[in-house]
Every structure is written in C-alpha cells, then in structure tokens.
Amino acid sequence: MTMVIAYLRLARAAWVMAREGVIASLPSDGLRGPALFAYRVAGWLARGSLQTADRASRLTRAVERLGPSYVKLCQFLATRPDVVGRALAHDLSLLQDRMDTFATAEAKQRIADSIGIPVETLYSRFDDAIAAASIAQVHPAEITNAQGTRKVAVKVVRPGIRGRFYRDLDSFFLIAEMAEKLVPASRRLRPVEIARTLEQTTKIEMDMRLEAAALSELAENTQDDPSFRVPAVDWERTGRDVVTMAWVDGIKISELEALKAAGHDPVRLSEVLIQSFLRHTLRDGFFHADMHQGNLFVDASGCIVAVDMGIVGRLGKKERRFLAEILYGFIKRDYRRVAEVHFEAGYVPAHHDVASFAQAIRAIGEPIHGQSAETISMAKLLTLLFEVTELFDMETRPELIMLQKTMVVVEGVSRLLNPNFNMWKAAEPVVGDWIARNLGPARVVTDLKDGLTAAARLAEQAPQLAARAERLSREIDEMSTSGLRFDAETAESIGKAEARHSRSGRIALWVIALTAIYIAFQL
C-alpha cells in the first residue's frame, strides 16, 4: 500500500510539472522511444498561457503547488549541477523559499511543547512572524531579566512539515530507484545515494538544536576573525522545534546604496566575505553552505553577520589539501601536479593515464592565464574542472560539489559588491598562508603528529582487535566444516523477499490502474 501511495504522489507531481510547462522547458537531447513520447505528451499538456514564461517562473509555480517538500528538493538539487546540469541548477537557485506564515498561536504552542515552558514565561514580548520559509518561520521577540531587555529572533518549525516531508520522500526514492534501473548513465551519479543525502540534510535542517549547534561551532571558529560573526544562540530557549538567537541589526549586503550611505566600503566587504569563506573552508573544514545575499547583513561596525545555518558543509583534511593543491597548481601552471593530486586522493580511477588527464587539465588552465585577474572566476574554474573529471570516471563527491556551489554564490555576492573584484588577489592571503602551513615543512610535522595519535589509538584497541580476529578465525573454521548457516531472522527475511517478488506483477497492474484513475480526476 505504501508503494501504491508513492506511485500516486509521483503521478501527481508529474502531472503538475507537465501542466506548469516545466517538463516541456527541459532539453530533449538524447531522448528516445518511450521517454521521447512522454516528453512530447508533457508538452501537449502544458497550459497555453505558459508559452512565453521562462523556466524559472514555471518551476516557481510548480513547486508552489506541490508544497514545501518540493521546495527543499529544488533547493537541494540547485547544489548539484553535476546531476541536473548548470543551466537547470541556476534556475533552481532562483527559487525563493518564501511561504505563507502560520498562526502565531500555533508557533507559541510548538515552542511550549518543545521547551516545556509557556511562551509568556520565556519571552517578555513575542510578535507575529516577519518571514516564513518551507521549514520554519521567524518571530521577533524580547527577553527581560536583571541585565535588562534584549531583542531576539525566534525560529519555529512549521507544523506538520516532518510528516509531509517523509511522505514525499518515498516518491523521491522511487524516482531515484527508477533512474538507476532505467537510465544506466545515471548510475555514476548515484541517484539513490543523492536521495539519502537529501533525507539526511533535511532531517538536520528540521531539528533546530542542530542549527543552533552549527551556529555555536562557527562562532567558536570565528571568534578571533576580523569582520565576520554569527548571532549568539540562547540555549535556554532552544529545542527541537525552536531556536532563539540574538537579533541582528544590520543592512542586507545586497543593498549597496544603503551600505554606502552608512559609511561602509563595498570593496572592503567583498574581500572580507571571500576571505572569511576560504578561511572557514581551509582552516576549519566547516563552512556556511547557504551564504546568499539574503542571509548576509552588515552591522554598524562594518562586520558581516551570517544567519540561517540550516545548510552547512564540511571538508576533511584530505579534501582541504586537495583543494589547496589544485588552486596552487593552476596558479603555477603545474598541470601535471594538479592531475597527480586527483590520483593521489583516489578521485580518479588508477587505470586512467595521468598524462592524458594532465592534458585535459591544461585545456582548462591555459585559457584562464590569458585573461585579466578581474575576470577569472575561481568558482567557474572548479565547475570546468568537475566537468572534465566526468570524462575520466571521477565519481560524484558531494562535499566538493557543495563547496563549489557555495563558492559560486559567495563569489557572486562579492562581485555584486565590487564589479571589478579580483578573486585571486583577495584569496591569496588566506590560501597562501594555508599552503605555507600545511603543504610545506609544517605538513611533515602535522602528518607525524597525526600518525602518532592514530598509532596510539590503535594500540589502545589492540586487545579488542585480537579478540575479534580470534572469534572470526573460529567462525571461519566452523563454516568450512559445517557449511554456511542462516539464523531464523535471515531465513524469514529471504522468504518474505521471495513472496514480495511473486506479488510484484499484480501490484504493478493495480498501481497503473489507480494512477490512471487519479490523473483522470485531476483533469
């Protein structure tokens, strides 16, 4: 029954996308047979009034009809140009996550249920929401105590959003599984794994305690950084469905005239923004992954304040070295080294030729060196690099794609502040310092320290590892004499799987019939 409902929801989504002209606006290159026929049918179903509308407008109308789960899906896919293509990813990034507000009384009830204390006790003043998105909405409030009165922002999870998302998630997994079975070329992108990533990231985003933890971690990392901060978290008034943080009094970073009128220098802000992002990425391996202009403010002191940390990115030490060495290799025009870094990191399969890969890298790097520094985009460089790596079977690296997407956004905001923004000049102090600390002699010391730490941990676990090895040896000996045995639970699972397989044909027929009836009632 769950699968039938998932098929029905998928059918409704396909119907809405077709009627709003989204499917008809997608490229049809490479479609053959039934896929091409379905594409043409979708074009016939599109409403005539949409012929002059651009794809972004069509997407906006479609996701508004489909609801908040599809808004989150589109936001997530906007971070994966490797999956949907750069053009569609750009259109998806233009979607505004703005929804109608829900009643203040409901928000108060959610806060009370989450924290266990009435809103009137928590806050001396609690106003109606001023902004609402697919996951939560924000209320201005005040807290009065012995230290005085302070203004705070209270973010409350939307009622029913978790149930709605989990229901729609079945459809997302169904699409991913169908793609892997019917489109062999999609398997390299691992669509089911992408659906799992969407599930995990949205679960995190729907738990306000985790967003509060992200704010707290970034605050610790940046406490000594110049001109960048995030709002402080009020943990006493934070729970699963609510996070309370300091109110941000500032000017949106996109309001250039207001920034200038307040005495701020947009050129300086552009450099601070990109240097802060690179510092978080390379030094800390933890960065705000949704740094668009709506989430960035400038306070009276000229400090950039970032809000809304529902989406974050992490890079391990290997990925940070990979990124730094690539950037350094392009700067020095050492394409062989850039290619070797990909192989050393294990990103490109070893059966490929390093020299051939270096040749492909050169095709990216040489045109860049013929341009002025102001026109060279680091984000574009990484985008082209990921496109080339597809030719050499480099599997999707979600953490690197998240980095590249965020860099595109941050670099775009920097160029909005300063049209003549020199990415390389602004980045050099941070990247150069990190390279000196981590890719020079200091790297040997760091690696030695990490190696000794790992060896010490391994020594601590030696007794447990020895016991496991001994147990495994006994089990292998027993299997060699008695054969492979299943426990009762495994045998029962195999039986159920066989039963499901025999019923799958009948279920498929019922699904087709019910889907046809459902669509007919939507006409």
Tens digit of each residue's pLDDT (9 = 90 or more) over 317-367: 888 888 888 877 877 788 898 889 888 888 888 888 999 989 988 888 887
368/377 Cα distance (integer angstroms) = 9
Residue with the bigger pLDDT between 443 and 34: it is 34
Residues 284 and 413 in one domain: yes
Task: Flag whether pLDDT at 519 surpasses 50.
Answer: no
The CA distance from 329 to 323, in Å, is 10
C-alpha span between 296 and 230 (Å, rounded): 10
Asked if 199 and 253 sit in the same domain, the reply is no
* Size of the chain, expressed as the number of residues it contains: 523
Any residues with CB less than 8 A from the CB of 515 and at least 6 apart, and which? 7, 8, 11
Residue 411 confidence (pLDDT): 85
Mapped to the 3 state alphabet, what secondary structure does 335-389 carry?
Answer: HHHHHHHHHHCCCCCCCCCHHHHHHHHHHHHHHHHCCCHHHCCHHHHHHHHHHHH
Model confidence at 311, pLDDT cuts 50, 70, 90, reads confident
Task: Please report whether residue 104 resides in a domain.
Answer: no
> Given pLDDT bands bounded at 50, 70 and 90, which one contains residue 523?
very low
| 148 burial level (CB within 10 Å; 0-12, 13-18, 19+) | exposed
Q: Are residues 200 and 253 in the same domain?
A: no
Provide the token pair at 240.
């699963």
What is the residue range of 16's domain? 2-97+162-204
- 384 in any annotated domain: yes
| Residue 300: pLDDT band with limits 50, 70, 90 | very high
- 180, 204, 228 - which closes a domain: 204
Are both 278 and 391 inside the same structural domain?
yes
271 CB-near residues (< 8 Å, 6+ apart): 414, 426
What token pair was written down for 204?
Answer: 């995190």
Above 90 in pLDDT, residue 29? no
Name the DSSP class of 32. Answer: -
Question: In this predicted model, what pLDDT tens digit does every residue of 2-19 receive, in sequence order?
Answer: 666 666 776 777 777 777
Query: What is the Cα–Cα distance from 361 to 432, expressed in whole angstroms?
Result: 22
- pLDDT at residue 180 tops 50: yes
Does residue 354 contact residue 342 with C-beta atoms inside 8 Å? no
For residue 109, what are its two tokens? 């009830």
- At 99-120, the pLDDT tens digits run 788 999 999 999 999 999 999 9
Q: What share of the chain is helix, strand, coil (3-state, %, to 5)?
A: 65, 10, 25
Instruction: Using pLDDT thresholds of 50, 70 and 90, give the confidence band for residue 288.
Output: very high
Domain presence at residue 274: yes
> Which of 221-235, 323-337, 419-433, 465-479 has the lowest average pLDDT?
465-479
The predicted pLDDT at position 425 comes to 79
**Other C-beta atoms within 10 Å of 222: how many?**
19
In a domain, 321, yes or no: yes
* Domain-terminating residue out of 401, 418, 439: 439
d(CA 42, CA 244): 46
Q: What is the mean pLDDT of residues 381-391?
A: 73
Tell which residue, 77, 65, 68, 67, has the closest CA to residue 26. 77
My answer on whether 194 and 298 are in the same domain is no
Maximum Cα–Cα distance for the chain, whole Å? Answer: 84
Residues of the chain above pLDDT 70, percent = 71
Mean pLDDT of all residues belonging to the chain? 78
Per-residue pLDDT at 153 exceeds 70: yes
Q: Cα-flanking dihedrals φ and ψ of residue 28, to 5°?
A: -105, 10
What are phi and psi for residue 157, nearest 5 degrees?
-70, 140
Residue 125's φ and ψ, nearest 5 degrees, are: -150, 140
Query: In angstroms, what CA-CA distances link 181 with 3, 33, 110, 190?
Result: 17, 16, 42, 11
134, 71 contact by CB (below 8 A) = yes
Domain end point (choices 204, 228, 263): 204
Q: For residue 189, is pLDDT > 80?
A: no
Please indicate, yes or no, whether residues 194 and 325 belong to a single structural domain of this protein.
Answer: no
Whether residue 350 sits in one domain with residue 263: yes
How confident is the model at residue 204, as a pLDDT? 80
Kindly tell me if the per-residue pLDDT of 223 is higher than 50: yes
Mean pLDDT of 29-58: 68
Parallel, antiparallel, or unpaired: how do β-strands 148-157 and 136-145 relate?
antiparallel
Whether residue 8 lies inside any domain: the answer is yes
Tell me, yes or no, whether 386 lies in a domain.
yes
Based on the fold, state whether residues 311 and 392 are members of the same structural domain: yes
pLDDT(517) > 50? no
Give the pLDDT band (50/70/90) at residue 522: very low
| Average confidence (pLDDT) over 437-459 | 58
Look at residue 509 and tell me whether its pLDDT is greater than 50. Answer: no
More confident of the two residues 407 and 266: 266
**Count of C-beta atoms within a 10 Å radius of residue 409:** 20
- Mean pLDDT, residues 455-467: 66
Q: Flag whether pLDDT at 80 surpasses 70.
A: no
Count structural domains, the chain.
3
The amino acid at 158: R
User: Is residue 140 assigned to a domain?
Assistant: no
Res. 480: pLDDT tops 90: no
Supply the pLDDT for residue 520.
45
Task: Answer yes or no: do 360 and 295 share one domain.
Answer: yes
- Can you give the pLDDT at residue 235? 96
Q: Which residue has the higher pLDDT, 214 or 485?
A: 214
Rounded to a whole number of angstroms, the CA Rg of the chain reads: 26
Q: Which two tokens stand for residue 393?
A: 């079977």
Is there a single domain that holds both residue 283 and residue 422? yes
- Select the more confidently predicted residue: 436 or 2: 436
**Residues acting as catalytic residues:** 290
DSSP state of 303: -
pLDDT of 84 reads 65
Q: Is residue 127 part of a domain?
A: no
Name the pLDDT band for 294 (thresholds 50, 70, 90): confident
- pLDDT at position 217: 96
Together in a domain, 422 and 505: no
Same domain, 191 and 309: no
